[in-house]
Amino acid sequence: MRKHEVLLTGRIRDMMKAETDRLFHTYTVHALHRSEDPDALVEEVKDRITAIATNGVLGASGEFMARFPNLKAVICFGAGIDNVDLAYAKQQGIQVSNTRGVLNDDVANLAVALLLGISREIVEADKYVRRGDWIRKGKMGLQKSIRGRQVGILGLGGIGRDFAKKLEVFGCQLAYHNRCENKNIPYRYYSNLTEMTRDSEYLVVICPATSETRNLVDSEVIDALGPDGTLINIARGSIVDEEALVEALQDGRLGAFASDVFSHEPHVPEALLEMPNVIFAPHIGSATVDTRTAMGELMLKNLERFFAGEPLETPVRL
C-alpha cells in the first residue's frame, strides 16, 4: 500500500526519537532540512502534498502554504502556533492542529517552580551556600511567602487553569484577565489588565502570542506591579515589552522577574544577566520525557486522523 506523503518543514528538535522514527516509518516524509535544495523539493512534490508537519518555531506562512495547491492540513508539534498564518489557513479551508492539553501539567508546574523560586530566592540561596557566605556571614536574609498574596493570571486557558488549581494549595488569592469572563471559574475576573496588575503582587503571563498580545505587558502594566511586584512569563517572549522590563528593573520600579521565554531566544537582554532578582529558564516548559513523548504521539494521532478522513484530535479554532 502506498504511503501518504507529508511535507516536513524542518527538523523538530523537541520531538522524541521514537516518535520521529514512527513519522518517517509511517509516511513518505519530504523533509526540507534533509534536502540539498529545499525549493526544488517543494516544486517536485507540491501537487501531491495535502499535509504539512511543522512546529511553533518553523511554522507555516501563508506564502509557503500557497505553494501547495492541494494542502488541507497543517499539523503542529507544540501548543504555540504564532508562526502559522491562521488567517490564510481559514481563508483556504486548511485545518490546523497543535498538541495542546498534554503539556499543560508540566508547563504549569514550571510556572509554580518559578513563582516559588523567585519568591523564596532559591537561586540566590544556592549561590549563597556555594560562595561560602553561610559560613562567613551567617544566615541569609528573609524572603517572601506567597500565602494570601494575589496572583494575577494573564490568560486562563488550559495551562492557566491548571496553574491556578495548583496555587489553591498554597493559599494564594487568584485573579485572571481574559478577553471575556468565564462564569464557571471561581476566581476574580478583571476586564482591565492594568487594574488586575495593580491589585496583584504577582503577574503570571500564560496567554497565546498573537498580534493582539504583542507587548501587551508594557510599561503601564509593569509600573502597575510596582517595586514590590513580580512578573513571571511562561508564555512567549513577545508578550512582554523587554525594553520596558529592563528599564523598570534597573530603576527599581519592578521588584523581580522570572521567565522561561524571551523575545529573541536564545538571546537574553544582557542587562538582566547580573541581576540577583531575576531567574531564567531556557524555554523548558514542556521539556520532560513524558510530555515530549505525549506531544509526539498527539501529533502523529492528528496526522493519522487527517489521512483517515476523521476530525483532528486537537484542531485549532480558526
Q: Are 254 and 226 in contact (CB under 8 A)?
A: yes
Cell numbers at 41, concatenated: 523539493
Residue 292 designated active-site = no
Pick from 85, 21, 97, 92: nearest CA to 53: 97
Residue 138 and residue 251: Cα distance in Å, rounded? 30
DSSP line for 127-175: HHHHTTHHHHH-S-------TT-EEEEE--SHHHHHHHHHHHTTT-EEE
Per-residue CA distances from 184 to 167, 180, 192, 209, 211 (Å): 18, 12, 19, 25, 28
**214 noted as active-site residue:** no
CA distance 109 to 114: 9
Q: How far is CA 263 from CA 203, 230, 235, in A?
A: 18, 19, 11
In terms of C-beta density within 10 A (0-12 exposed, 13-18 middle, 19 or more buried), how is residue 42 classed? middle
For residue 180, the SS3 value is: coil
**Angle, to 10 degrees, between the axis of helix 104-119 and the axis of helix 122-130?**
60
Catalytic position from the list 236, 242, 305, 313? 236
Selecting among 4, 283, 292, 305, the annotated active-site residue is: 283
Question: Is 283 known to be catalytic?
Answer: yes
List active site positions. Answer: 236, 265, 283
